[in-house]
Copies of this chain bind each other. A is one copy, B any other.
Amino acid sequence: MIEIGSNIPYDFVTSVLHNTPSTSHQDRRFSRTELSQNMTKIEPIQKEQNIKEDTKKCKNPPKPRIKREKLFTTPDKLSNFLNHDSNKLIHLEPVPIFNDKSEIKPWLQKIFFPQGIDLVIERSDKSKIIFKCKAVTRPTNELDTNNIENNDTTTTENRRTPIITTNCPFRIRASYSLKLKKWNIVIVNNTHSHQCVFNPDSDEYKKFKNHLIAQNDTDTIKEFEELEYKTKFKLPILPKVISCDCGLTSEVNWFDVVIPEPKISGTKKVTKKTNINNGNSVATTAANTCNNSSTTLNNMNGNMKYDSISNFLDLNNPNINIINSKTVTPPGNITNLDEIDFTNMFATKKSVPQFKKQTTTKPSLKQQQTASLDEFNFNKIITTPSNDNLLNYSIDFNPLSQDFTDQDLNMILNSSDNGIDAFTENGPESTTATTLDTLMEPTDLSYMDFVTKDDLNLNLNYGMDVTPKDHQSQLKTLPNDPNNQFMFDSLM
């Protein structure tokens, strides 16, 4: 196993953008043919988001004039749309075989507790679980001073205890695909309306620890004990490296890394060159552009302030794959994120080079079927949502022009379908269990100035793909395709 020594500051987002369903981690007990399992289907992100938008239901009867759809078309309301509806579909891959629905939540908790994200189930189903951040109720003791008029009876009872309910838009959707016989896990909206602080005292975490004890998962227990210790004494939290050791992954291909600029201000001009849209839309509007999962625009008006920065993004680590890294000024030892120049760090799938991460012997089909979560070792996948408190701010995107066309993104998509090939060292018979070695500095919020951090919007997306071996020969990289890049033109 490859240990990654580099560090990434807290607020980066390492996202696994994954459009290609992989059967490598699937429970194949019910699959009929190996052929169907290996069918790789590219589902455009744009289409998926359109569905989400169109199936959104109003809880109350629609207000006659305040139509959500209007926000999509008027540029002056784009900022609101981005704040509230800038969805990113971040597919998590690889995912272990879950023999039971109840195994998913602990698996996600292993990943998200160190990120300071306390997950609860919002809704679940036989084939679906929607996770969200645990609601935080904060009772306040505010005296109702406006009620003194002639209700002497209730002066002592005028104290109200309003409860502040955190209504965070962050969601993780785990859905079981009957077709693919696998659980797909997708981060739906990688934004939070609150700070993400690891709280060892939360009930969910206690239940999680009890689960670990019940599962005899001593490794994970030790990891979290270390996390608790460091949190308690405000020690710098070493990056947790979560990987997939289930041995069932035939291969993992990184194909999408989106690194937003940390210093893009509201006056920066962002020129989007590509757009993922599967042809339904004739005229691509700015609003439509915002629906793209891989084109989340992040506004970074704030200045990030660290009291102490000791974690760094190591671009030299081969396990961290940053698209167009040649255009990135290697930050080396980053002591102030304001100094990082992320210009032109956007990239899309087909420019993602692939690295062989890890090679294991592919188990037999029977072994795959019986492989359970117990054999799965979490220490490579870390997904750190950022955009903390994004919803608390009105980001003005008016000066940004977004000119991506559907054709552009379709081209990218089509090329990524069979255009990624390089860097895979595996022959057709040797299967690889390639994991995403994403290094992330877990939340150590005690070192950070939240007020300013809230304005920061670092978004570091590492793309990863799991491609069945049958399709390996079709893959190639087009790292320098000009249509392949997002361009950031500063207006300042």
Contact = CB atoms under 8 A, between A and B. Distances in A.
Interface stretch (A1-9, A191-199, A276-284): A276-284
A69 B143 CA distance: 12
Contact of A140 (B53, B61, B67, B69): B61
Interface string A17-61: 000000000000000000000000000000000110111011111
A283 B72 contact: no
Contacts of A153: 50, 277, 280-282, 288
Interface in A142-172: 142, 144, 146-147, 149-154, 157-158, 160-165
Interface of A: 50-51, 53-55, 57-62, 65, 67, 69-70, 72-73, 140, 142, 144, 146-147, 149-154, 157-158, 160-165, 277, 280-283, 285, 287-288
A455 to B, nearest CB: 21
A149 B73 contact: yes
A69 B151 contact: yes
A280 B162 contact: no
Contact of A147 (B50, B69, B150): B69
29 contacts: A50-B153, A50-B157, A54-B157, A57-B161, A58-B160, A58-B162, A58-B163, A59-B162, A60-B164, A61-B140, A62-B142, A62-B144, A62-B160, A67-B146, A67-B147, A69-B146, A69-B158, A70-B146, A70-B147, A72-B151, A73-B147, A73-B149, A150-B285, A152-B280, A152-B281, A152-B283, A153-B280, A153-B281, A153-B282
B50 A150 contact: no
A64 to B, nearest CB: 9
Nearest to A55: B157
Which of A62, A67, A160 gathers the greatest number of chain B CB atoms within 10 Å? A160
B54 A158 contact: yes
A165 B282 contact: no
A282 B148 CA distance: 12
B151 A281 contact: yes
